[in-house]
Amino acid sequence: MTVLHQEHPAHEHTHGPSCGHAEIPHGDHVDYAHDGHLHRKHSGHWDECEPGEHVSHSSHTHEHGAGCGHPAVVHGDHVDYVHDGHRHAQHDGHWDDH
């Protein structure tokens, strides 16, 4: 999956274990949920951590929702569920990898 390199300019807040925002393991890094979007540290600045393409998570039979056991993270106009080091989002009857 390609991740867009979209720098979050003028981001003065420093994320970390005690910053108050949810930490979300995401592949080889950690995202921080902040105001409905996700930030990751990259080369001394903060980026928006957004997928650059539509990636369907094939053969995902688990139904996420309230009480499913996976952390829910508000992401823009929908909710992602953190599962096995990545985020799942419901899309057109299937789950996408975010």
Domains identified in the chain, total number: 1
Q: Is residue 16 part of a domain?
A: yes
In a domain, 19, yes or no: yes
* Residue 1, in any domain of the structure: no
The model scores a pTM over 0.75: no
Query: Can you state the percent helix, strand and coil of the chain, rounding each to 5?
Result: 0, 45, 55
Asked whether the predicted pLDDT for residue 14 surpasses 60, the reply is yes
pLDDT above 70 coverage of the chain, percent: 81
| Contacts with 35 (C-beta within 8 Å, 6 or more apart), sequence order | none
Q: 5 — phi, psi (to 5°)?
A: -95, 95
Which whole number is the average pLDDT over 81-86? 76
Residue 89 lies inside a defined structural domain of this protein = yes
What residues contact 82, with CB distance under 8 A and at least 6 apart?
24, 25, 70, 71, 73
Q: Is residue 33 part of a domain?
A: yes
What range defines the domain where residue 51 resides?
6-97
What gap in Å lies between CA 83 and CA 26, rounded to an integer?
9
